[in-house]
Structure formats: structure tokens, C-alpha cells
Structure 1
């Protein structure tokens, strides 16, 4: 069973990695959102760790960034 703290940590790892991959690709939040079929404000809130993102949207973002989903959850 995951504790709230563990869930929060996973969310923040995802948020950090998403922002890092987006920045490496020199994409704005709006550009990434358009590529993934999401709204810009949604991507911003995900990057701030405010959203409990669905697996479907994780897949959309990974696909837009041309990376494997697991890279967005990697804590290295």
C-alpha cells in the first residue's frame, strides 16, 4: 500500500522529469500540450505536481516527447 507521501514523491518525480524533457526539447508548455492533445494549463499544473495524472495522459506526453513512459518516472 502506498502512503500519501510516497504518492506525492512519485508525482513530484514525474513533474520534474516532464519539465526536464520538455526543456531539453526546447518546447514551451503550450507546444508540448498541443503535441499531446492537452491544454497548456493542464501541462503546467502537471509540471508543478498539482495533478494526479492519468496513465493515458502520461502516455500522450511521453509520445509527444518521443520517449518511453518509464523515463518520466525514473528517479535517478
Structure 2
């Protein structure tokens, strides 16, 4: 990804509303770990396979967020 992290703090584990199911019938719970990173070096670089784009956004220029993203945004406000 191109970044080396310095100071990292785990803030919260965010979970979805319930069990998710994919087309083949598999069920799973997905969790999002919310970290505050205040020290890093390097430049974010997408790998072209799983990551199509990687960049930083200012707080006011964030793209549309899903429910967990909005919850994370509220947590950090």
C-alpha cells in the first residue's frame, strides 16, 4: 500500500446490523476496525488488484460513506 505507520490507536470495532449472506449462501459477520493514525510516512499506492484508488481526503471532502463509514465519522468528530 506504500505507507509505513508510526503512531496508531485502535478506537473501536464497528459491526454491521446483522449477518450478511453472499450469492453462494455463505453467511458472515463483517467488522470494520477504526484506527486513528497520527504519524505515517510514504505515499498511498493502489495495488491494482484489490485496491483501485488510494488517497487522503480532507474532512469536508470525504466521498459518500456507507453506514459504517458514517458511524466512524461520527466517532471521530
Same-fold call, TM > 0.5? no
Short-chain TM bin: under 0.3
TM-score (norm 1): 0.25
| Greater relative contact order structure (CA < 8 Å, 6+ sep) | 1
Greater percentage in strand: 2
When Rg is computed on C-alpha atoms for both structures, the one with the higher figure is 2
TM-score (norm 2): 0.25
